[in-house]
Amino acid sequence: MDTISIPATLDVDPTWNILTMLKRRVDQDPNETLVEVQQPDGSWSPVSASQFDSDVLTVAKGLVALGVAIGDRIAIMSRTSYDWAVLDYAIWSAGAVSVPIYETSSVEQAQWICSDAAVSGAFAETAAHKLVLEAVKAEAPTLKQIWQLNEGALAALREVGARISDAEIESRRTAAQGKDLATIIYTSGTTGRPKGTELTHGHFVRLTDNTQFDKTDLSVSPVIAEEGCRTLLFLPLAHVFARFIQVVAISSRTVIGHCPDVKNLVPALGSFKPTYLLAVPRVLEKVYNAAEQKAGSGLKLKIFRWSAKVAIVYSRALDSKRGPGWHLRLQHKIADKLVYHSLREAMGGRTKYAVSGGAPLGERLGHFYRGIGLMVLEGYGLTETTAPILVNRLNKQKIGSIGLPFPGCSARIAEDGEILLKGINVFDRYHNNPAATAEALRDGWFHTGDMGYLDSDGYLFITGRKKELIVTAGGKNVAPAVLEDRLRGHPLVSQVVVVGDGRPFVGALITLDEEMLPGWLANHGLPPLSLAEAREDPAVWASLERAVGRTNQAVSRAESIRKFIILEDDFTELNGYLTPSLKIKRSKVLKDFADKIDELYNSNGTAS
């Protein structure tokens, strides 16, 4: 199979915009809780649909009073929060276009976004964010106003906007139609400058309503869009994934909460009790590794590892015709009492689903989480597709795949193996970049740059990035993602970059996870070590060599990692090797660590 298409479940009125869906929810039940906001004491206060709408309306009036015109671009540089949600909808209510900036962005990154998008006003959460935006002004002449959220910016807007009539805002709220621009979201920029992806109101409306009102057997509506659904957002709202889910939540029956600081995520999950979560594979990996580490050593560790194995075997059995046998069901029940129950409680006790994207999760973790009672619906999407375009379904799941297209969407595999996409949520153009648009959109299909294949049932599997494909000196094509994703599952490993283009064999650059190191050492009866000391420790090397051996079982001998090197420092956003969405800037790593790569290939035995 080279093409799979799922028809749209309904036609959406082309005059509708994102605010139309908000109005529909308010009209349906103005007193229904739409958001819960965490208070300083950790409790959650409900915000009704009508109160949220009122909060949005009064901020929008302030923007209009200060001269924001229809079509103006307004930036938001803030952590995920209730204020972020209010601002997004207030900007749309004023007839303007919202432009998110990651709260971790540098002056150079913010400067490019503000100048390219011609941003006229910007919201900064803190004084530090405001300093970044103030530094941008010299190269972004359109930026005239900066408002600081933690200094009472929203209250000031509400005060100044009191003179603006409801009728004025209503006329602006209804001015935009589906074809009109809603937001410009800049891609993560793993290669070169980020591209501004123009997404319209129609992209969000069509995808949202075809998701929440899908009544077919492929529906994911019970997970994310029905009464009783709850989700706690902690991923950046500057990223299209969290942004789309927020629009779905506000437009449907979901109650939404926000967690600005992931350091507070565990207690927030415990008190908010979500039914589903957004996650990226790295988060799910760390949850598993932390749970294993918490088990310590001796009998407790043996029980955890036995329980993990039972979960995986049990999940695999669910996909067989006979299902789990009585003995496996008994083992599963015992493991649930010993281990699984406490893991579910750590996520709030009510979480049934996680929607995962951004990178491959891997079969092992997929089966583990389903086995403990948390179904991970792995999917796929990009900024250019308004986030999700394929996902696994509740009753049609293939762990290891990224599922089937959403309603109104299609996927195709080109002759060279590249994944092509088309659908109701696929963007029309990059902002101010016709050359990039022409390269990405050809013959009606979006060329993703990802490689993959469709199985006989139409499920899509990703094998790697087209531009990241390694060709060894022996002519072997190697997709690094398979190796990197598996090796990153080791608790000591933070990041992996597989190398070997034009080289005699495949190698790897590895960084250590400073957060996981102390627990790993303690569980293995080793004394505390600094990162520098751990890089030289024989036990650390031996463990990583075993992990590399297990990783290599997934590929042929010619594709296997023969040598690796442990780098001194981790890859982070701060040092410029990770994007805000936690993707590795591979070209920068290869350039800056060229000497280390040469060392790896010139050394005898395993590099050190």
pLDDT tens digits, 108-153: 989 999 999 999 999 999 999 999 999 999 889 999 999 999 999 9
Paired tokens of 221? 């509506």
Confidence of residue 607 (pLDDT cuts 50, 70, 90): very low
Confidence of residue 608 (pLDDT cuts 50, 70, 90): very low
**pLDDT of 362:** 80
- How far lies 183's CA from each of 320, 424, 479, in Å? 45, 16, 34
**pLDDT of 557:** 87
**What's the pLDDT tens digit per position in 522-575?**
888 899 999 999 999 999 999 999 999 999 998 888 889 999 999 999 998 888
Give the number of other Cβ atoms within 10 Å of residue 10's Cβ: 12
Mean pLDDT, rounded, for 580-606: 83
**pLDDT of 271:** 95
Instruction: Choose the weakest-confidence range: 131-145, 263-277, 380-394, 593-607.
Output: 593-607
**What's the pLDDT tens digit per position in 219-248?**
999 999 989 999 999 999 999 999 999 999
**What's the pLDDT tens digit per position in 259-277?**
999 889 989 999 999 999 9
pTM attached to this predicted model: 0.88
**Contact criterion met (CB below 8 Å) for 560 and 506:** yes
Q: In whole angstroms, what is the distance from residue 293 CA to residue 488 CA? A: 16
**pLDDT of 583:** 82
Q: In whole angstroms, what is the distance from residue 151 CA to residue 131 CA? A: 14
**What's the pLDDT tens digit per position in 279-319?**
888 788 888 888 888 888 889 989 999 999 999 999 999 99
Domain boundaries, the chain: 18-176+230-274, 279-466, 469-602
At residue 138, the 3 state secondary structure works out as helix
**pLDDT of 359:** 76
**pLDDT of 119:** 98
Q: In the CATH scheme, what architecture does the domain 279-466 have?
A: 3-Layer(aba) Sandwich (3.40)
**Contact criterion met (CB below 8 Å) for 266 and 105:** no
HSE-CB for 273 with a 13 A CA cutoff: 7
Paired tokens of 233? 């957002």
Nearest to 207 by CA among 194, 195, 222, 225: 225
Query: How far, in whole angstroms, is CA 343 from its chain's centroid?
Result: 22
Mean pLDDT, rounded, for 408-417: 96
Residue 336: which H helix or E strand, with range? none
Mean pLDDT, rounded, for 317-337: 94
**What's the pLDDT tens digit per position in 470-510?**
888 888 888 888 898 889 889 899 999 999 988 999 999 99
- How far lies 377's CA from each of 124, 322, 390, in Å? 34, 23, 10
Q: Integer distance in angstroms from the first to the last C-alpha of the chain?
A: 46
Fold agreement (18-176+230-274, 469-602): no
Give the CATH number of domain 469-602: 3.30.300.30
CATH superfamily to which 18-176+230-274 belongs: ANL, N-terminal domain (3.40.50.12780)
Mean pLDDT, rounded, for 318-343: 94
**pLDDT of 98:** 98
Measured over the CA atoms of residue 17, residue 248, residue 33 and residue 56, the dihedral's sign is: negative
583 or 597, higher pLDDT: 597
